Structure 1
Amino acid sequence: MEKETKRSLLLITFGVVLFALLMHFPTVIKTIQRGIALILPIIVGLILAFVLNVPMKMFEQLFTKIKKKYPKLEKMPVTGVSLFATMACIVLLIGIVYTMFVPGLVTSVKSIYIVFMENTPKWLSWLRSNGMDTAWISKEIASWDFNKLMAQITGNVGNVGNALGKVVDATTSFFGVAVNALMGFIIAIYVLLSKNSLSRQCKKMLYAHLSKKHADKICYISNLVNETYSKFFSGQCIEAVILGLLMFAAFTIFRLPYANLIAVLTAILSFIPYIGAFAACFIGALLIVMVDPWKGLLSIVVYQVVQFIENQFIYPRVVGGSVGLAPLWTLSAALIGGNLFGVIGMIFAIPVTAVLYVLVKDDANRRLQRKKIDL
């Protein structure tokens, strides 16, 4: 009777609290938004630490092996050195991308603009011949000043002093975002440097306040989430770099225009499952068609051949099966995540679904084992 009474009281209390929250829903939403705004740097820092921890773990494994092999390095702080190596690699990668691709991107954008402006009269003439009023289009295009825009961009990129001056003169909202990003980065550094002690403290709190069964379950799910996301992000990053380089090499070999632009676009959009590759191919072909229709057709063939080779021989080894999902579940997760949360949902839905898949599969296996059913 006591258990039933407690359960009834809990249900009544839950119902009353839920009713009160629904009656004051706008106030509750505002309170939640204020709370999120207060802890936003912490949230950003934790997310950033979670992402940076993926390459950092690789360096930790490497430096641990080196430390065992060379006794003189026994006092080497593996965590600190791994974090430094991770940050150095990120800076190096940004530098390589900036040096190799940014000039090409600027040139590609300029050439696209020139081709567009040269062909605009023909397109407008064709539209007018089909009875469409093109006066508003001509007026809009005439207001564009691309050279001034590119001069501002290249000038700001090349002139650090001007860039710093513009940061000083930035709006309050931008300053707030910059402060949150900076604080989040600092918090991420501290989290990564003390992740072992933080993990131990969290485990102590769990096992101190919960039963061993529930604490074990939470630890198991946490490890599963960490492993799944680590495999997914590391695999996707490597696959994006490989695919971008392959596209750049293939387009350069066949002398197709905008190789830099399409390579970077392919690498970025490859994080969007299934749809990203088609989007990059379509955008690239559309840009090349404005230069030469036959080269536009050739670009589609080259892109699909490279995509096929990458999917058949590289992706299965780098990413394929890393999250343990069949193609049907992967596609379903990407579609549902995209419909609910857009592009971000498509990216994060796959590892989330992989975690849920493992949990459901483990639960089903335990139930079948209790029923003594072997399938």
Structure 2
Amino acid sequence: MDLHEKEKMYQRLIVFTLFIGMFIYYFEKIVSFLGWIGTMCLPFLFGTGLAFVFNIISNNLMRYSIKWFDFKDTKIKRMISNILAICIVFAIFAAFVGIVIPKILFSIQTLLTNFPQMIYEFYIWLLGVTKNVDVVHDFLKNLDINAFSNSAIDNVSKKISSWLVSGGANDLFGSIYSILSTTFSWFAQVFITIVFSFLLLFNKEQVVRETKSLLMAYLPKRDYEKTRHVLKLIIRIFTSYVGGTCTECLILASLVTTGSLILKIPYAFLVGLVVGIGALVPMFGALVAALLCAFFIAMTDPIQGLTFIIMFICIQQVEGNFIYPHVVGKSVGFPPMYIIVAITIGANIAGIIGIIIFIPICSCIYQLVSEDVLSRLQTVREVSD
């Protein structure tokens, strides 16, 4: 290495060191600036996600129309499928707000109002069950049940239920709205999100075409092909996972709610919603949610709680063997042991949204690394041969 190359290396090292030092010194300001940029871009990110959902439904409508009715994929028919996709999403949202939410609020109010009585009845049931187990029975008899069923808890539950169904929640939402309105109107953000999603949906061909042109103009041919392959993989996995998982959660929630209504299990709509949300977490999310629901149902009626668990197991067997393979399938291609890692990382970073996003992200990384490993192994074999 000659003197000129050494001088360049030292200059780069000094610049890199200064950059790291400035980054550490101004770390809080950089994070604050990035947060401001993220807040400003939030409507566009949500709009992109909403357009992605619209596009999944539109593509499925178009695919089944071609398959069942032998339609041709024309611009007019694609526009009609986009409009139908938007109508379907807003119809589901309207039905959820107008029908499901009032029933869920009523179930929560009933649960909170009856909670002290439920605790007392559950305590009496446990005393009867543990008659032959002296240690547990004596322990239960020595418990101060009044601490769980006195008027204090009753008053707290009534206050909470009153807060949920009357003015308390409105005051909270009003406070949130006043905070958001100081920077950017909440209604304006929703409007921008919806309009931007519509623009993306109806101009997706132009967006794809311009993105391809941009990549072809600035990337070498080899890098362009790799980037295109990665983008196709990301779109395929996110489409399969997000669309399939949300559909599967909706089906499972509907089955649990319907089964609970048929068997006259209390809080049918509430337990259906909780199990549906729990199903967003693969492998054990729905089961944990079902056990939590069964516990609260059992405090009202232990037999009903046991009935709910048996019903859920039967529904999950049917759903896992017949519905899930057709709705979600194995398109994500991610081993279960890595799913647990992705769930843990996603939950710690961004909660339930992190869980939903991190599984397909980690699946993309896993498949790309697998492809690279196979390619390198094949090169090694060719060299050794």
Task: Give TM-score, length-normalised by structure 1.
Answer: 0.81
Q: How far 1:285 moved relative to its partner?
A: 0.8
**Does residue 178 of structure 2 align to residue 171 of structure 1?**
yes
Q: Residue in 2 aligned with 1:130?
A: 143
Q: Residue in 2 aligned with 1:194?
A: 203
Quick one: structure 1 residues 190 and 142, their matched pair in 2 at CA, closer, same or farther if it must change by over 3 Å? same
Q: How far 1:239 moved relative to its partner?
A: 1.0
Quick one: structure 1 residues 28 and 111, their matched pair in 2 at CA, closer, same or farther if it must change by over 3 Å? closer
Q: How far 1:281 moved relative to its partner?
A: 0.9
Q: Residue in 1 aligned with 2:377?
A: 368
Q: Residue in 2 aligned with 1:33?
A: 35
Q: How far 1:197 moved relative to its partner?
A: 0.9
Q: Aligned partners of 2:8, 2:49: CA distance in 1, in Å?
A: 37
Q: Aligned partners of 1:66, 1:323: CA distance in 2, in Å?
A: 27
Aligned ranges for residues 270-289 of structure 1 at < 5 Å? 270-289=279-298
Given candidates 27, 42, 50, the residue that maps to 1:48 is 50
Q: Residue in 2 aligned with 1:328?
A: 337
SS of the residue aligned with 1:77? Answer: helix
Deviations 1:213-241 (A, max 9, x none): 22222221111111100001111122112
Given candidates 21, 24, 27, the residue that maps to 2:23 is 21
Q: 2:237·2:360 contact (CA, 8 Å) conserved in 1?
A: yes
Q: Residue in 2 aligned with 1:163?
A: none
SS of the residue aligned with 2:185? Answer: helix
Q: Aligned partners of 1:51, 1:316: CA distance in 2, in Å?
A: 21
SS of the residue aligned with 1:325? Answer: coil
348-357 vs 34-43, which moves further: 34-43
Q: 2:116·2:153 contact (CA, 8 Å) conserved in 1?
A: no
Task: Give TM-score, length-normalised by structure 2.
Answer: 0.79
Q: How far 1:196 moved relative to its partner?
A: 1.2
Which structure 1 segments of 5+ residues have no match?
157-165
Q: Aligned partners of 1:111, 1:94: CA distance in 2, in Å?
A: 24
Quick one: structure 1 residues 147 and 369, their matched pair in 2 at CA, closer, same or farther if it must change by over 3 Å? closer
Deviations 1:313-369 (A, max 9, x none): 321222131211233333332234334443222222221121111111111111112
Q: Residue in 2 aligned with 1:161?
A: none
**Does residue 348 of structure 2 align to residue 348 of structure 1?**
no
Quick one: structure 1 residues 131 and 257, their matched pair in 2 at CA, closer, same or farther if it must change by over 3 Å? closer
Q: Residue in 2 aligned with 1:337?
A: 346
Quick one: structure 1 residues 57 and 233, their matched pair in 2 at CA, closer, same or farther if it must change by over 3 Å? same
Q: Aligned partners of 2:226, 2:53: CA distance in 1, in Å?
A: 24
Q: 2:121·2:300 contact (CA, 8 Å) conserved in 1?
A: no
Deviations 1:25-69 (A, max 9, x none): 122112222222333322222232233322122234456679974
Q: Residue in 2 aligned with 1:92?
A: 91
1:53 maps to a residue whose letter is N
Q: Residue in 1 aligned with 2:155?
A: 142
Q: Aligned partners of 1:134, 1:118: CA distance in 2, in Å?
A: 12
Q: Aligned partners of 2:81, 2:206: CA distance in 1, in Å?
A: 16
Deviations 1:109-131 (A, max 9, x none): 34323421434677899999536
Given candidates 166, 180, 185, the residue that maps to 1:152 is 166
Q: How far 1:271 moved relative to its partner?
A: 0.9
Q: Aligned partners of 2:268, 2:165: CA distance in 1, in Å?
A: 23
Quick one: structure 1 residues 83 and 7, their matched pair in 2 at CA, closer, same or farther if it must change by over 3 Å? farther
Quick one: structure 1 residues 335 and 40, their matched pair in 2 at CA, closer, same or farther if it must change by over 3 Å? closer
SS of the residue aligned with 1:171? Answer: helix
Q: Residue in 2 aligned with 1:162?
A: none
Q: Residue in 1 aligned with 2:128?
A: none
2:356 maps to a residue whose letter is I
Q: Aligned partners of 1:295, 1:286: CA distance in 2, in Å?
A: 10
**Does residue 241 of structure 2 align to residue 239 of structure 1?**
no
Q: 2:281·2:355 contact (CA, 8 Å) conserved in 1?
A: yes
Quick one: structure 1 residues 116 and 252, their matched pair in 2 at CA, closer, same or farther if it must change by over 3 Å? same
Which structure 2 segments of 5+ residues have no match?
125-138
Q: Aligned partners of 2:278, 2:300: CA distance in 1, in Å?
A: 23
Q: 1:246·1:306 contact (CA, 8 Å) conserved in 2?
A: yes
